[in-house]
């Protein structure tokens, strides 16, 4: 059996960490968010995310690009192998977009690009993935064919390719023949085409739900109140609780009742809680008799501390100081570090909470009423870091003080941190309160939910 070795020069060579692409693909590094005027829609299939946007440098055939994106930074996943699931998701998304085009132009066509392999060396058996000068990323193009001077979307000309012509994806300049030349967008033209394609996608995307494809075309807002559970005996003893199911003590029950008073008058459409009793009890005490909306999920559990659960936090700190050099770790090493096989790393916990937050964002039953999350200190930190785009290594401990964060955070945008009230997209509004006698941490996030309103 032949054995092939795969190399990824963009990962193995430090000089490629900041990749400089050719002019024709520089747009490939732009984040894809619905705040971007060229972005038409975002789609999700299983755990993969895709962006649909107009090609920023070429409007031939109202040309759009569909690409696999990193769910954290909303940028393309470049120069690696792609799974069958990722390819299936791309195919479904492209089928949706092509159908939308077919409702506008006489002929809608598509082509998938972004092959895994760039070069193959037969003697060494090495397959090389993308290089900085010619990136490999899983994507495809959708475009229309018809009268090149036709105006199928308001007054925006189709600008080719002409029917029956060869569509040259790599035409570098206007010096090419008329049907192959690149034609730049005007901002008003781009807006008109994006709006029309959004409308067509909204009209047909429900048919793709049965195949597991979720589609988002516009932003909707919902408030998420994040509550840390009330006090337990292990809290007062400074013991690591993690997954150990410790109940609330008398003080913890009092704290939850105080939060019930503070939340009076707020109607929660849904209440999610960790399946650990201290979080569940906190949610029940806040809601009183109205507990029918509570949904338990293990995704909101506290970070697992493994065999150290039940021991003092100072003991673990002392152990790590004696056995590891955490101060020498890179951020990536620190976030993925586990002191033994039974523990959960920061990255593991972050991905778990991220999965939950994203499940809310794509829920078709989500209303405009706020949502309550009853969770844990570490879990709450990871949830806030996810929406705040704060690197986990820079996070602050949520302490037993009354903090109320009012965050306006567009999903998929790298926002600037700001302590003043801002309405502009990408800004964060932070309001800090310290209500007397409230020893429980509560937070409210105004989350930009990217969902179709249809």
**Confidence label for 269 from pLDDT (cuts 50, 70 and 90):** confident
CATH code 3.40.50.1240 region(s) in the chain: 220-450
> How far is 366 from 225, CA to CA, in rounded Å?
15
Catalytic residue (one of 53, 55, 229, 376): 229
CATH code 3.30.428.10 region(s) in the chain: 5-217
Is the pLDDT score of 153 beyond 90?
A: yes
Better-scored residue on pLDDT, 82 or 71 = 82
**Which strands make up the sheet holding 39-45, listed edge to edge?**
107-113, 139-145, 64-69, 48-54, 39-45, 213-216
Cα angle, residue 73 at apex, residues 295 and 35 outer, rounded to 5°: 85
Better-scored residue on pLDDT, 338 or 166 = 338
Name the CATH superfamily, with its identifier, for domain 5-217: HIT-like (3.30.428.10)
pLDDT of amino acid 132: 59
**Confidence label for 419 from pLDDT (cuts 50, 70 and 90):** very low
Is the pLDDT score of 284 beyond 90?
A: yes
- φ/ψ of 416, rounded to 5, equals -85, 140
pLDDT digits (tens, 9 = 90+) for 3-50: 444 444 443 333 333 333 334 456 777 888 887 899 999 898 988 889
**CATH class of the 220-450 domain in this structure:** alpha beta
Among the listed residues 5, 23, 16, the one whose alpha carbon sits nearest the alpha carbon of residue 130: 16
> How far is 428 from 451, CA to CA, in rounded Å?
21
> How far is 31 from 329, CA to CA, in rounded Å?
29
pLDDT of amino acid 256: 87
Is the pLDDT score of 418 beyond 50?
A: no
pLDDT of amino acid 97: 97
Pick from 119-133, 173-187, 229-243, 372-386 the range whose average pLDDT is largest: 229-243
Please confirm, yes or no, whether 229 is among the known catalytic residues: yes
**Confidence label for 81 from pLDDT (cuts 50, 70 and 90):** confident
pLDDT of amino acid 356: 82
Contacts of 296 (CB under 8 A, 6+ apart): 272, 273, 274, 275, 280
Is the pLDDT score of 330 beyond 70?
A: yes
Catalytic residue (one of 302, 344, 378, 448): 302
Give the mean pLDDT of the chain.
72
Is the pLDDT score of 194 beyond 90?
A: yes
């Amino acid at each position: 059996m032949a054995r092939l070795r795969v190399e990824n020069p963009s990962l193995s060579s430090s000089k490629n960490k900041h990749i400089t692409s050719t002019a024709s693909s520089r747009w490939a590094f732009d984040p894809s968010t619905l705040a971007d005027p060229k972005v038409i829609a975002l789609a999700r299939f299983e755990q993969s995310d895709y962006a649909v946007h107009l090609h920023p440098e070429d409007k031939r055939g109202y040309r759009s690009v569909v690409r696999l994106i990193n769910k954290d930074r909303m940028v393309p996943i470049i120069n690696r192998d792609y799974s069958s699931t990722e390819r299936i998701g791309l195919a479904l998304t492209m089928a949706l977009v092509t159908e939308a085009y077919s409702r506008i132009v006489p002929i809608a066509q598509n082509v998938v690009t972004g092959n895994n392999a760039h070069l193959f060396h037969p003697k060494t058996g090495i397959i090389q993935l993308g290089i900085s000068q010619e990136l490999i990323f899983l994507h495809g193009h959708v475009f229309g064919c018809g009268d090149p001077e036709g105006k199928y979307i308001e007054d925006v000309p189709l600008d080719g390719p002409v029917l029956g012509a060869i569509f040259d994806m790599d035409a570098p300049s206007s010096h090419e023949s008329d049907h192959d030349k690149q034609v730049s967008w005007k901002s008003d033209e781009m807006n008109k085409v994006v709006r029309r394609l959004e409308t067509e996608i909204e009209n047909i995307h429900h048919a793709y739900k049965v195949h597991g494809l979720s589609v988002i075309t516009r932003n909707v807002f919902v408030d998420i109140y994040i509550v840390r559970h009330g006090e337990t005996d292990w809290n007062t003893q400074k013991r690591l609780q993690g997954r150990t199911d410790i109940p609330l003590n008398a003080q913890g029950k009092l704290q939850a009742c105080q939060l019930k008073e503070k939340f009076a008058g707020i109607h929660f459409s849904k209440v999610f809680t960790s399946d650990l009793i201290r979080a569940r009890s906190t949610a029940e005490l806040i809601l009183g008799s109205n507990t029918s909306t509570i949904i338990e999920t293990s995704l909101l559990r506290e970070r697992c501390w493994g065999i150290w659960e039940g021991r003092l936090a100072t003991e673990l700190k002392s152990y790590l100081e004696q056995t590891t050099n955490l101060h020498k770790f890179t951020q990536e090493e620190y976030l993925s570090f586990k002191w033994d096989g039974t523990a959960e790393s920061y990255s593991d916990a972050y991905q778990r909470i991220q999965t939950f937050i994203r499940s809310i964002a794509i829920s078709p039953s989500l209303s405009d009423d706020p949502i309550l999350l009853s969770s844990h200190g570490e879990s709450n930190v990871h949830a806030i870091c996810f929406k705040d785009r704060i690197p986990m290594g820079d996070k602050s401990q949520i302490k037993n003080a009354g903090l109320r964060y009012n965050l306006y955070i567009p999903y998929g945008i790298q926002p600037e941190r700001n302590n003043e009230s801002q309405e502009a997209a990408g800004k964060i509004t932070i309001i800090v309160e310290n209500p007397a006698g409230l020893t429980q941490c509560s937070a409210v996030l105004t989350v930009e939910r990217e969902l179709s309103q249809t």
